Structure 1
Amino acid sequence: MKDSSSVAQLAAILRKELDRYSEGEKLPSSRALVTRHQVSPVTVSRAIASLAAEGLVTSRPGAGVFKAAPRRAASALGDVSWQEVALSADPPYATADTGPRSADASGLLATLTAPPPEVIDLNGGYLHAALQPERALAAALARAGRRPGTWSRPPVEGLTELREWFARDIGGPRGPLGASDVLITAGGQSALTTALRALAAPGSAVLVESPTYPGTLAVARAAGLRPVPVPVDADGVRTDLLTEAFHATRARVFVCQPLFHNPTGAVLSPQRRTAVLDIARAAGAFVVEDDFARRLMHADSPPLPAPLAADDLDGVVVHVRSLTKASSPSLRIGALTGRGPALERLRAIQAVDSFFVPRPLQETALELVGSPAWTRHLRTLADALRDRRTTLLAALGSTLPGLLPHRPPHGGYHLWLRLPDGTDERAVAATALRHGVAVTPGGPYFPAEATAPHLRLTYVSTPGTAQLEEGVRRLRQAVEESVPEPYERA
């Protein structure tokens, strides 16, 4: 075995050799394994750790590594039917308005579940490893590890330098935000959870775009809130209907994605940007701005509008921003902004839920965004997103022209496809999976009944553009089997 052999290869060899050992028998020393298999001590250490995690060996410091006792068979599950009562019975003071105590995360989990390796992933919402700045992340992590105090407790609100960076990134160098207006969160989902729990009382209505990100709906319902849909068109949320929704529900929170909306890709028009703030201000309500796609612009994108928070002086906008989408799913660092009493409420809820975000992760994020590699990565990512979007649109145009969106997005990572009336979108998605491509049905994106059948296709979870083209070819097969009136080839 050469030095380049993987940890997995060595672990597989040792796992097979364990058959020759009796329970409690000592394995060869690390030095002997290094010599025998011609690998580094680090490779041996990691392979042993892998076997220990599987319960196959036990390591005793100073004594060596020994074959572990066989695992005992799992005991039979007891009677858990009592939990149906415990989880469903409401206390005497509960009201009909408080909503269910359960959380429906099916729409959210669908995009978090990785398909088998043989399936082309047009479903996931995170960058494939080929698009991640792995070298920049590794270097940032190494530099952060050398910083004095990296493992000490950070401020509850987050590191001051990182909060200052987010304040400039969101509001501009001369904008209304300062470090004191920013809380560091464990990613965008955590920020949304904190915002909705802090700003809306259980049982109350919260206005959401329709369709919208399923994670928003899951957070709202888990907090005992009632998501009320406000339709979206090609120019963003319908502000005429937003006014009516505030009057009808007396809601005090509206959650929106003004930039590269998930799932439609819409960008809120300039006229509606002003209207959203005016309507919310008149209703005495907050606007939770989920700016998840700010760093996912394409190379051919026109200049981006500023966040709503950059034009807000009165604390109407609570802004959510994250580094996760543009870097790595494991760099769970985000920011939540607020002003006045709302910020104190946000701070209190976050402290109760999580105390603080681990300092090593904050230090790593600070090292990353402060390095030239971050700017280079964003330029490279913008080119890659444009090329992938172009490839996916071209593949759809030649194979499924009837599914092409009318206004392709210039940012984000997904396409929203309208299926013919009467199509069972879940059947299409299930059939597509049998053909080896994972896509997302549109139903979970609607707070109430869906207006039409849809599919959402993403283009960041595959290794390259060749998989996108093959994925559309497989989707064509599924559509031909599932759609009432199959599309004609262009």
Structure 2
Amino acid sequence: MSESSSSAQLADTLRNELDRYPQGGKLPSSRALVERFGVSPVTVSRALAELVAEGLVVTRPGAGAFRAATDRPTTTVDTSWQEIALNGEPAPHIADATGITANLAVPPPGVIAFNGGYLHPSLQPEQALGAAVARAARRPGAWQRPPLEGLTPLRAWFAREVGLTPAQVLITAGGQAALATALHALTPPGSPVLVESPTYPGALSIARAAGLRPVPVPMDQDGVRLDLLEDAFAATGARVFYCQPLFHNPTGAILAADRRRRLVDIAHAAGAFVVEDDYARRLGHGLPLPPPLVADDPYGTVVHISSLTKPTSPNLRVGALIARGPVLERLRATQVVDTFFVPRPLQEATLDLVGTPSWQRHLRGLAPSLRDRRDVMLTALHRHGLAVRSPLGGYYLWLRLPDGTDEAAAVATCLRAGVAVSPGRPYFAAEAPEPHLRLSFADTAGPDEINEGVSRLALGVEAAGVS
């Protein structure tokens, strides 16, 4: 085993060799493992720590590492009673995560991930993140309890982006947590909540788990249809409209300029809030972007959600809720009940990251990288006769399949062909009007993988009976 071998590989080797030792038997010393496998002491230490965490090995200071005593009596537990408890009357609000897990699932080895919801590791600012976390962890006071609303300098950073003040910002554990807080705080169970159709499945899952009734409002290529939105407010009495005006997920649409102020006016006239999910603001492909709705809101109607997860790493779960007026205290109370606060070391690391020159360098490099991957995927799809509208930002393409296509069968045949895709059905609050697939070009290693993935996609779609 070479010096470059990972601690995970060494742990796997040691795990397979544990049967050579009796329970309680001593393993070779760290020095012996270093010499045998040609790795560093740090690699050995990490491998042993992994086995200790699994309960397979115990370490004794000054004595070494020993195989753990793992023989325990097994018992059979009858859990059939849970079926009654979980499905009793009145029926509880059920958390259905199927629409989310389809995008979070890591495909098997060899399968190309067109279903991903995050950046490929090659696009993540891993070095800058690592340096920021290391500096933050050593900062005096970094492990003290933070203010419930979040660190003031980080709140100020988010506030500057929308032209508001730190007092109007709550730091959240990413965009999903912010959205859950907003929907829980703004409307009681049993109420309707208006959503774009299609829309982000995570929003639908949160709404349904909270006992809300998602009501779809159709879109066109310029965003939500305002005539239908106004009708939906009047017909349902809804007090919340959830939307993604910039690089909408999954269609990539941008709300047209002439609809922006009118949308806020319609919601205000209905006495309702607009929950603006601005998850993709840092995922533009190089063109100027419109300001967020909250920046031009004269009423305090817009509750704005911002997140740093999408342009960085799925593990940097830091975002913000931005609002004005009494609603902010409602949001704050809901967040405190649900999560207390975002860990201070994570906030400190985020503040460190966005304050360094590497942050702007990362964003400048990310835009052309996403644009290039988008163009490669569009070209490959067109080469196979699959037409898709080109988005100006984000990292999704919304592929319309021919009428009559069995969407579920297409997803399954694509996976058998070696490419994972997201089905379109979970993006609709009601019955889907036509079959779709959502394709991500961001969670890919580059052009070669995209071209190969689209070739597999075409085979899978063809095998599903699509002409």
Shared fold by TM > 0.5? Answer: yes
Instruction: Find the partner of 2:174 among 181, 187, 194.
Output: 187
- For 1:296 and 1:225, how far apart are their aligned partners in 2? 30
Q: CA deviation at 1:246?
A: 0.2
Matched ranges for 1:429-440 at <5 A: 429-440=411-422
Tell me how far 1:62 sits from its aligned partner. Answer: 3.9
- Counterparts in 2 of 1:38-117, with a 5 A limit? 38-72=38-72, 75-80=75-80, 82-90=81-89, 101-117=93-109
Partner SS state of residue 281, structure 2: coil
The corresponding residue for 1:342 is: 327
Matched, 1:457 2:457: no
Name the TM-score, length of structure 1 as normaliser. Answer: 0.93
Q: Which residue of 2 aligns with 1:235?
A: 222
Contact 1:200–1:253 (CA under 8 A) maintained in structure 2:
yes
Letter of the aligned partner of 2:111 in structure 1? Answer: V
Deviation at 1:453, TM superposition (A): 0.6
| Distance (Å, rounded) in 1 between the aligned partners of 2:115 and 2:341 | 31
Specify whether residues 163 and 480 from structure 1 end up closer, same or farther in structure 2 by C-alpha distance, changes over 3 A only.
Answer: same
Give unmatched runs, 5+ long, in structure 2.
Answer: none
Indicate the SS of the match to 1:58: strand
Q: Deviations 1:330-355 (Å, cap 9, x if unpaired)?
A: 00000001111100000000000010
Residue 25 of structure 2 aligns to a residue whose secondary structure is: coil
**Paired residues for 1:193-272 under 5 Å:** 193-272=180-259
In structure 2, relative to structure 1, the CA distance for the partners of 1:77 and 1:467 (3 Å cut) is farther
Query: Residue 367 of structure 1: CA displacement?
Result: 0.5
Match of 1:156 among 148, 157, 160: 148
Equivalent pairs, count: 467
Q: Distance in 2 between matches of 1:105 and 1:24?
A: 43
Structure 2 CA distance, aligned partners of 1:9 and 1:311? 54
1: CA distance, partners of 2:408 / 2:16: 43
Q: What is the match of residue 280 of structure 2?
A: 293
Match of 1:307 among 292, 300, 307: 292
Asked whether the equivalents of residues 51 and 57 of structure 1 are also in contact (C-alpha less than 8 Å), the reply is yes
Aligned to 1:466: 448
2:22 corresponding residue in structure 1: 22
Could you give the per-residue CA deviations for residues 279-333 of structure 1, whole angstroms, max 9, x where no partner exists? Answer: 001001000000011011113xx31000001011321000000000000000000
Q: Is the 8 A contact 1:385 1:460 kept in 2?
A: yes
Partner SS, residue 70 of structure 1: coil
Given that 1:8 and 1:47 are in contact with CA atoms closer than 8 Å, whether structure 2 keeps it comes out as yes
Give distance in 1, aligned partners of 2:78 and 2:85. Answer: 16
Give the letter for the 1:315 counterpart.
G
TM-score when scaled to structure 2? 0.97
1:412 is matched with which residue? 394
| CA deviations over 1:439-474 (Å, ceiling 9, x no partner) | 111000000010111111101112222111111101
Partner Cα separation in structure 2 for residue 228 and residue 15 of structure 1: 52
| AA partner of residue 54 (structure 1) | E
Q: Check conservation: 1:55, 1:71, Cα contact below 8 A.
A: no
User: C-alpha offsets along residues 406-437 of structure 1, whole Å, 9 cap, x if unaligned?
Assistant: x3101000100111111111100000001110
Output the amino acid matched with 2:378: L
Cα distance in 1 for residues equivalent to 2:441 and 2:192: 34
Q: Secondary structure of 1:366's partner?
A: helix
CA separation of 1:103/1:17 partners in 2, compared to 1, >3 Å: closer, same or farther?
Answer: closer
Deviation at 1:74, TM superposition (A): 5.2
- Looking at structure 2, the residues matched to 112 and 240 of structure 1 have their Cα atoms a distance apart, in angstroms, of 35
Structure 1 residue 238: Cα displacement: 0.4
Is the CA contact (8 Å cut-off) linking 1:298 and 1:386 kept in structure 2? yes
Structure 1 segments unaligned to the other structure (5+ residues): 92-98
Q: Secondary structure at the match of 2:283?
A: coil
Matched with 1:316 is 301
Which residue identity does 2:84 align to in structure 1?
Answer: V
Amino acid at match of 2:289: L
Q: Match for residue 269 of structure 2?
A: 282
Change (3 A) 1:183 1:79: same
Amino acid at match of 2:435: P
1:479 is the counterpart of 2:448: no
Secondary structure of 1:66's counterpart equals strand
Q: In structure 1, what is the Cα distance between the partners aligned to 2:397 and 2:41?
A: 47
Deviation at residue 271 of structure 1 after TM alignment:
1.1
CA-atom RMSD in angstroms:
1.5
